[in-house]
């Protein structure tokens, strides 16, 4: 039976499902938590949507590139909300002081990570899908019109968001709730560098090489190529995927190291500030 | 020896007991969990012979503080042992190392023969833990919490198990209430239900009756004692409550400043220190009068 396997690498679907169930119970018990998932993406959409509406009336270029800002804000939300969905689910265990119970259960760290990734998808679906429908209704922008490109954008953005979420969770695990604010702020470091609303060529030369080290940069460049030039840049998506594979693997390794360090320092016992 | 314990287990034990001066039937009637577990082990023949918990020269240093300083002890299967000590004595760190939550600086902690935390996945399924310092998610109902943990431990017939354990711990009426809305006593019962959900062979309890009123605390002790007797489980109990330790434990390990300063049965401790209660023994040890008290008693 899988429950009795001793290999740390063995993943048991029933334990992953148990953790997902735990977070679903939590979401179901609290309507403000669900409202919070939709509220901020909707506010962002309306701010950028109306800005885009204003600019397209006054600029020929933006009139031709309709939906660029709205597309950018929706894709940014996949990146940001994906990471937040991962990290907040993890933080729920810290807030509930439940981490000790989990760490002495047969739950493996990688099963925990898998459950957090699934919850990131669930929270993202709850938060972003309604907003994409609002974008169609209010601004006539249909992100699903991207077709297969949207799938490529999504996979790359969600992988980056999980990599960041995994590292943030590891840091909180090791250093306690003092590092909690990282969950909300760390992604904004990427925002100017990933060139969400402008092309990479706007950046100074030395910063461009930093930008190209980030997978989301390829996605946002790819989105602009699709909207402005009507071209799907598969090459950019493949490069982003390669970088994501690298970063995701590194993030898991860092998480496991931080967990080991937490066992050494005794911080799993405290789970507080 | 023809009737060795290995070849004819039950007879072998009886014979060896007789040779030590005991009546042959006394081994069957021995009241302690230790004897019962030994008999079970020999009858079944499948269980390995290592102790339930084995700690050897265990050390934990946090930066410059030696929280645990070279302690060693072994706990036989089916026994209930108390870990006594004041604040900062190293009890919680010791339990955390046995659970695999904290990595020892040196030495080893083994549970059912598995070294913690390196081989923890071999035994985590068979052990559990209860402490008032670890909470359950407060927004989830009692039933939801027990369902999640039951699934983590792959408990069979989980709904039936939850119903039975709720009945035993008088939680049936509380099953659909959020855990965060319960009183301290009710929360403790829920934590104990979680700790027993997987029918653990090894149960570690860190001050299980802290913050409970005497009546509830007594009720909790009774439940734990009954579970241990029914299941033949091994229990390590860290506590400040001397009456609790005196009532429940076959043996008491007293810790001070990360070290074991005494290790004996409660009656022997009382006799050796010349005291009436374990609390008096504890105060002698805590205030550095242990040696003098022992000499005076002799």
Domain segments of chain B as ranges: 9-44, 53-253, 265-297
pLDDT at res. A41 = 86
Q: What percent of chain A has pLDDT above 70?
A: 93
Task: Give, as one character, the DSSP assignment of residue A144.
Answer: G
pLDDT at res. B35 = 43
b/e string for B96-120 if b means 16 or more Cβ within 10 A? bbbbbbbbbbebebbbbebbbbebb
* Position A271 pLDDT exceeds 70: no
A50 CA: distance to closest CA in chain B (Å): 39
Report the residue of chain A nearest B197, measured CA to CA: A105
Interface probe with B: pick from A7, A94, A103, most Cβ of B within 10 Å: A103
Which residue's structure tokens are 């309604």? Answer: A130
pLDDT at res. B244 = 85
Q: Which of A197-206, B15-24, B287-296 has the highest mean pLDDT?
A: A197-206
A149 CA: distance to closest CA in chain B (Å): 38
CB contact under 8 A, A106 and B152: yes
- Please give the span between the terminal C-alpha atoms of chain A, in angstroms, as a whole number: 39
Which B residues 8-27 touch A at CB under 8 Å? none
User: Which of B99, B133, B178 lies nearest to residue A104, judging by beta carbons?
Assistant: B99
Secondary structure element (H or E) that encloses residue B235, with its range: strand B234-239
Residues of chain A with Cβ-Cβ distance to B148 below 8 Å are 18-19, 21-22, 25
- Kindly report the number of other CB atoms within 10 A of residue A245's CB atom: 13
* Position A272 pLDDT exceeds 60: no
Residues of chain A with Cβ-Cβ distance to B127 below 8 Å are 104
With both helix axes pointing from N to C terminus, report the angle between A148-175 and A182-193 in degrees, rounded to the nearest 10: 140
C-beta of residue B126 within 8 angstroms of C-beta of residue B201: yes
CB contact under 8 A, B117 and A263: yes
Report the residue of chain A nearest B65, measured CA to CA: A265
Interface probe with A: pick from B115, B148, B158, B202, most Cβ of A within 10 Å: B148
Query: pLDDT, tens digit, for every residue of B225-276?
Result: 889 988 899 999 998 888 888 888 999 999 999 999 999 999 999 998 888 8
* Position B120 pLDDT exceeds 80: yes
- The mean of the pLDDT values for chain B is 83
Separation in Å, CA A98 to CA A180, B136, B191: 16, 6, 11
Band of pLDDT at residue B32, cut at 50, 70 and 90: very low
Residue A33 in contact with partner chain B when CB distance is under 8 A: no
Residue A91 in contact with partner chain B when CB distance is under 8 A: no
Report the residue of chain B nearest A10, measured CA to CA: B121
Q: Which CATH number fits domain B53-253: 3.30.565.10, 1.10.569.10, 3.30.70.3270, 3.40.50.300?
A: 3.40.50.300
Q: What percent of chain A has pLDDT above 90?
A: 68
Residue A21 in contact with partner chain B when CB distance is under 8 A: yes
* Cα separation, B73 vs B234, whole angstroms: 14
Query: pLDDT, tens digit, for every residue of A149-163?
Result: 999 999 999 999 999
Interface probe with B: pick from A104, A109, A261, A264, most Cβ of B within 10 Å: A104
Residue B179 in contact with partner chain A when CB distance is under 8 A: no
A61 CA: distance to closest CA in chain B (Å): 51
Phi, psi (5° rounding) for residue A109? Answer: -55, -40
User: Which of B141, B120, B263 lies closest to B190, judged by CA?
Assistant: B141
* A–B CB contacts, 8 A cutoff, strictly below: 111
Query: pLDDT, tens digit, for every residue of A25-42?
Result: 999 888 888 888 888 888
A207 three-state secondary structure: helix
Residues of chain A with Cβ-Cβ distance to B122 below 8 Å are 6
* Position B218 pLDDT exceeds 90: no
B207 three-state secondary structure: coil
CB contact under 8 A, B137 and A105: no
Cα dihedral value A244, A246, A248, A252, nearest 10: 180
Q: Which of A51-65, A167-181, B155-169 has the highest mean pLDDT?
A: B155-169
Interface probe with A: pick from B95, B113, B128, B137, most Cβ of A within 10 Å: B137
Band of pLDDT at residue A7, cut at 50, 70 and 90: low
pLDDT at res. B221 = 87
Give the mean pLDDT of A167-185.
90
Q: How many Cα atoms sit within 13 Å of A264 on the Cβ side?
A: 9
Question: Domain map of chain A by residue range?
Answer: 12-270
Interface probe with B: pick from A96, A174, A272, most Cβ of B within 10 Å: A96
CB contact under 8 A, B100 and A260: no
C-beta of residue A30 within 8 angstroms of C-beta of residue B139: yes
Which residue's structure tokens are 């300063």? Answer: B261
* Cα separation, B223 vs B212, whole angstroms: 14
Tokens of B214: 């005497």
Residue B153 in contact with partner chain A when CB distance is under 8 A: yes
Query: pLDDT, tens digit, for every residue of B63-96?
Result: 889 999 999 999 999 999 999 988 889 999 999 9
Phi, psi (5° rounding) for residue B155? Answer: -70, 130
* Cα separation, B280 vs B271, whole angstroms: 12
* Cα separation, A109 vs A251, whole angstroms: 13
pLDDT at res. B23 = 41
* Cα separation, B216 vs B209, whole angstroms: 8
B17 compared with B124, residue with greater pLDDT: B124
pLDDT at res. B25 = 40
Q: Are strands B114-116 and B106-111 parallel, antiparallel or unpaired?
A: antiparallel
CB contact under 8 A, B153 and A3: yes
Q: Chain-centre distance of CA A62, in angstroms? A: 28
Global pTM exceeds 0.95: no
CB contact under 8 A, B136 and A17: no
Q: How many Cα atoms sit within 13 Å of A133 on the Cβ side?
A: 6
Residues of chain A with Cβ-Cβ distance to B93 below 8 Å are 266, 269
Give the mean pLDDT of A225-252.
95
Which residue's structure tokens are 């020999």? Answer: B42
Residue B143 in contact with partner chain A when CB distance is under 8 A: no
pLDDT at res. B19 = 44
């Amino acid at each position: 039976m899988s429950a009795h396997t001793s290999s740390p690498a063995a993943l048991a679907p029933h334990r992953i499902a148990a953790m997902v169930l735990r977070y679903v119970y939590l979401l179901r018990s609290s309507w403000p938590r669900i409202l919070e998932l939709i509220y901020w993406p909707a506010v962002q959409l309306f701010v950028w949507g109306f800005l885009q509406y204003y600019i397209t009336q006054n600029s020929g270029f933006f009139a031709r590139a309709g939906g660029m800002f709205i597309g950018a804000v929706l894709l940014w939300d996949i990146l940001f909300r994906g990471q937040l969905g991962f990290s907040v689910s993890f933080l729920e265990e810290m807030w509930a002081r439940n981490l000790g119970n989990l760490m002495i259960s047969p739950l493996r760290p990688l099963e925990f990570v898998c459950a957090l990734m699934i919850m990131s998808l669930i929270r993202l679906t709850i938060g972003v899908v309604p907003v994409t429908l609002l974008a169609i209704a209010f601004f006539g922008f249909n992100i699903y019109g991207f077709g297969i490109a949207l799938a490529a954008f999504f996979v790359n953005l969600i992988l980056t968001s999980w990599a960041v979420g995994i590292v943030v969770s590891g840091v909180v695990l090791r250093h306690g709730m003092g590092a909690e604010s990282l969950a909300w702020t760390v992604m904004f470091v990427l925002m100017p560098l990933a060139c969400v609303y402008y092309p990479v060529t706007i950046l100074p030369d030395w910063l461009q090489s930093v930008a190209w080290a980030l997978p989301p940069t390829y996605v946002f460049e790819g989105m602009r190529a699709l909207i402005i030039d009507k071209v799907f840049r598969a090459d950019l998506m493949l490069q982003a995927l390669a970088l994501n594979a690298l970063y995701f693997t590194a993030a898991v390794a860092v998480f496991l190291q931080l967990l080991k360090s937490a066992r050494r320092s005794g911080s799993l016992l405290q789970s507080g500030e | 020896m023809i009737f060795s314990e290995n070849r004819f287990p039950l007879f072998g034990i009886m014979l060896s007991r007789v040779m030590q001066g005991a009546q042959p039937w006394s081994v069957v009637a021995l009241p302690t969990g230790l004897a019962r577990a030994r008999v079970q082990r020999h009858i079944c023949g499948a269980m390995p012979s290592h102790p339930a918990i084995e700690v050897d020269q265990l050390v934990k240093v946090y930066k410059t503080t030696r929280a645990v300083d070279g302690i060693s002890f072994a706990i036989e299967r089916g026994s209930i042992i108390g870990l006594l000590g004041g604040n900062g004595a190293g009890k919680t760190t010791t339990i955390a190392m046995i659970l695999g939550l904290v990595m020892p600086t040196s030495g080893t902690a083994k549970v059912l023969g598995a070294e913690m935390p390196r081989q923890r996945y071999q035994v985590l399924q068979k052990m559990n833990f209860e402490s008032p310092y670890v909470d359950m998610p407060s927004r989830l109902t009692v039933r939801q919490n027990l369902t999640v943990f039951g699934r983590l431990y792959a408990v069979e017939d989980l709904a039936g198990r939850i119903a039975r354990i709720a009945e035993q711990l008088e939680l049936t009426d509380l099953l659909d209430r959020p855990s965060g809305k319960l009183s301290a006593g009710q929360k403790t019962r829920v934590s104990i239900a979680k700790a027993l959900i997987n029918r653990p062979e090894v149960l570690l309890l860190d001050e299980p009756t802290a913050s409970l009123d005497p009546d509830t605390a007594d009720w909790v002790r009774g439940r734990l004692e009954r579970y241990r007797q029914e299941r033949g489980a091994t229990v390590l109990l860290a506590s400040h409550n001397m009456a609790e330790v005196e009532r429940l434990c076959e043996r008491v390990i007293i810790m001070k400043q990360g070290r074991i300063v005494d290790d004996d049965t409660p009656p022997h401790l009382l006799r050796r220190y010349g005291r009436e209660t374990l609390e008096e023994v504890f105060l002698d040890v805590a205030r550095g009068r242990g040696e003098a008290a022992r000499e005076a008693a002799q």
